[in-house]
Structure 1
Amino acid sequence: MPELQRIPGAVVVDGVLHHAGSPLIEQRALASARAVAFLGDRRVLAVSGEDRLTWLDSVSSQSLRELPPGGATETLILDPQGRIEHVASVVDDGETTWLIVDADDAEPLLTWLMRMRFRLRVSPVDAGDRFVVIGGTAEAVAPWAAATSVPLVWRDPWPHVSPGGWAYAGADPHPGAARDWAEALVAPDRAAALVEAVIAGDVAAAGTVAADALRVAAWRPRWRDEVDGRLLPHEADWLRTAVHLDKGCYRGQETVAKVHNLGHPPRRLVALHLDGSDSVLPERGAAVRSDGDAIGEVTSVAFHHDDGPIALAVVKRSAPVPGDVTVDTPEGAIAAAAETIVPPDAGRTASVPRLPRLGRRTAAG
């Protein structure tokens, strides 16, 4: 990352810009194309070679073999039981496939990819020293993107249903429907120029706190937070954008098909509208309770510029959601209204009603 400490108001920890002084203002600026977020919690892997797309197609959940130059999607690496191990945002430039991954997962994923090469013409490498990742609207990030044969910009497909995918959430409208999010790979010299533009006041900067709040409000799952070693794609509504249900065989496919065809995933993602009267937020892993009984755990927490304190949580399929719950914090339990993302009967044959979103004022009573 460039010298982010030079940005006025910057709070930088381990090379990651958490915020530039005002996360709420940064959220609004990101959403309106007036800011870019420095995403130091992302890292880039590169896969070159003639067989790269067919190979990645064969080892992951998404259909990638026909991905065109400039095409963007995302894919999951599953274990044999269909549980998520790795997540990657994918963009191809015609010669190299670029994977944007959470920084903590970059080395484990690269190690796994290296083991799976066999004799194919593929070469996975860590490209983290070649690129910085920035995020925001496509309009905001595109001018800074590196270009090979195409600009290296990944446009988030969420929450639209990709070819071969399937939507479980029945909210109408989906809270992420109007979200415009893209991530660009930026060469070090351009990243340095971007910092100078921020210091000069030509561009506004945002940190990961603001970017994550927009993600949570859109019910968008992420490897760092929602993936716990047991998560199935169905449980987070990830079949929308990361799974192709009609493609060829890959590890974990049998479980994906079985759970989808029969319905009833064992757990499910829900949204929480938290009581913010005491300005207390729960931590990741905090217990979610109904009538005192633990029904799940918080996975992501944020303070949104419109919705206030919000969270995502993974709960038991049988949990009484939607409904009123409590969430543990170090200062005691706080009240929350839980909103359905993945319904308990989610699957191919389930009839998912189209439901209006639960507003924060309603949640607060």
Structure 2
Amino acid sequence: MLSAVTVAALDPDAPDAGAVAHYGDPNREQRILDTEVGLVDRSHRDVLAVPGEDRLTWLHSLTTQHLTDLAPMTGSELLVLSPHGHAEHHAVLTDDGTTTWLDLEPGAGAGLLDFLNRMRFLMRVEPADVTADWALLSVVGPQTDEALVTLGVGPLPAPDVVPVPPAKFATGTLPGRPTIRYSAAPLPVFGGWVRRMAGSADLLVPRAAVPDVIAAGGLPLAGIWAYEAQRVAARRPRFGFETDHRTLPAEVGWTAAAVHLEKGCYRGQETVARVHHLGRPPRKLVLLHLDGITTDELPARHTPVEAGGRAVGFVGTAVRHHELGMVALAVVKQNVTPETELRVGPSTAAVDPA
């Protein structure tokens, strides 16, 4: 029997306190996710449901994504921006034909739900927090399709991505569809659905069915530490980690997945367009290598990154990767290069040239 070590037991104030950190061997769990397939319980994420006839046109008008013609059993990503174009909310979504489901960071659901309720006006929508009833699990690894077949689904097509156009692109360049589309399918027996992501698949299932889904899949379990190590190595940003109060979508690469650059008016659109057409956001997302000599302690979230004694950015997520060692995602000024001498706390750091 695997011994689950919870994040709460190690750091009760961590955003992932509701998740399992590892099951006794974090490095082995990372290798399974990198080379085979495993299951990660991410049921600590918040889940919102938005049923109603106007749900897609309504969300289209409020967010960065093109959603008016989103087909049933299709997923995507979206952002809600401030009037100045700063990221206020990020969610991954799936529409099943009657309801749009939004999954987002632990504790972030209440803020987004409050915003959505204030924007309802006369629209036929009924947004609700359903976190208590629905849970997100993730099947991760190169053998994801085989695991989905075992669960009675798939294989499902890989994500369909519209290339980001160059600066000052011609009007009419982009199709009227989401910039990224994730294929989805109903999950038989248990209820809920499966959404095919890049290198993984997310399962939204009734919370009461989680033990049965885990048993039916027969997959080795991996903790959130292994999942985060893989995410960091893949340079995928996470809201609240690789973001702060002034993050612009282009700074962390969300233009590719969550922003449609030609969809019409939404809050913050002017800033998004201006930054894209200038072609150089103020900051950028990078992978840092930490020396691990002065200390083997991982830097805390939002620890400053310094060059010449001055702050040039901040650490988002730091992990121990089974191949790369101590690494971190960081958001730094655009002029920081692989040759820039950096420090993160007592550690020397360097930007990965890739």
The TM-score range, normalised by the shorter chain, is 0.7 to 0.9
* Aligned positions of 1:68-87 closer than 5 A: 68-87=71-90
2:3 alignment counterpart:
9
Give the 3 Å change call, closer, same or farther, for CA 197–66 of structure 1 in structure 2.
closer
**2:289 aligned with 1:273:** yes
Give the 3 Å change call, closer, same or farther, for CA 246–90 of structure 1 in structure 2.
same
**2:337 aligned with 1:338:** no
Pairwise CA distance, 1:281: 2.0
Q: What is the DSSP-based 3-state SS (H/G/I as helix, E as strand, rest coil) of the residue aligned with 2:28?
A: helix
2:145 alignment counterpart:
139
Give the 3 Å change call, closer, same or farther, for CA 119–156 of structure 1 in structure 2.
farther
Aligned partner letter, 1:295 = V
Larger deviation: 86-95 or 134-143? 134-143
TM-score, reference length from structure 1: 0.78
**2:275 aligned with 1:259:** yes
- 1:217-252 deviation digits (Å, cap 9, x = unpaired): 111011130121110001111101110101111110
Give the 3 Å change call, closer, same or farther, for CA 156–228 of structure 1 in structure 2.
farther
Identity of aligned residues (%): 40
CA contact (8 A) 1:142 1:184 kept: no
1:325 alignment counterpart:
341
* Aligned positions of 1:45-60 closer than 5 A: 45-60=48-63
1:42 alignment counterpart:
45
Q: What is the DSSP-based 3-state SS (H/G/I as helix, E as strand, rest coil) of the residue aligned with 1:203?
A: coil
2:258 alignment counterpart:
242
2:70 alignment counterpart:
67
2:92 alignment counterpart:
89
- 1:13-42 deviation digits (Å, cap 9, x = unpaired): 253211111222112222344310011331
2:241 alignment counterpart:
225
1:129 alignment counterpart:
132
1:105, 1:155 → 2: CA distance? 29
Give the 3 Å change call, closer, same or farther, for CA 56–156 of structure 1 in structure 2.
farther
Aligned partner letter, 2:199 = D
Q: What is the DSSP-based 3-state SS (H/G/I as helix, E as strand, rest coil) of the residue aligned with 1:241?
A: helix
1:113, 1:192 → 2: CA distance? 32
1:106 alignment counterpart:
109
Give the 3 Å change call, closer, same or farther, for CA 103–243 of structure 1 in structure 2.
same
Aligned partner letter, 1:336 = A
Q: What is the DSSP-based 3-state SS (H/G/I as helix, E as strand, rest coil) of the residue aligned with 2:306?
A: strand
1:212, 1:153 → 2: CA distance? 25
**2:199 aligned with 1:180:** yes
Aligned partner letter, 1:64 = L
2:162 alignment counterpart:
163
Q: What is the DSSP-based 3-state SS (H/G/I as helix, E as strand, rest coil) of the residue aligned with 2:326?
A: strand
Aligned partner letter, 1:307 = L
CA contact (8 A) 1:153 1:184 kept: no
Unaligned runs of 5+ in 2: 9-16, 168-196
2:137, 2:51 → 1: CA distance? 22
1:71, 1:113 → 2: CA distance? 21
CA contact (8 A) 1:76 1:85 kept: yes
**2:276 aligned with 1:282:** no
Aligned partner letter, 2:245 = G
- 1:142-190 deviation digits (Å, cap 9, x = unpaired): 4698x9xxx7999995xx7x3374589xxxxxxxxx9502221022343
2:108, 2:132 → 1: CA distance? 16
Aligned partner letter, 2:277 = N
Unaligned runs of 5+ in 1: 1-6, 169-177, 341-356, 358-365
Q: What is the DSSP-based 3-state SS (H/G/I as helix, E as strand, rest coil) of the residue aligned with 1:315?
A: strand
Aligned partner letter, 1:265 = P
Give the 3 Å change call, closer, same or farther, for CA 143–185 of structure 1 in structure 2.
farther
CA contact (8 A) 1:164 1:244 kept: no
**2:308 aligned with 1:291:** yes
Give the 3 Å change call, closer, same or farther, for CA 140–24 of structure 1 in structure 2.
farther
**2:231 aligned with 1:215:** yes
Paired residues, number: 312
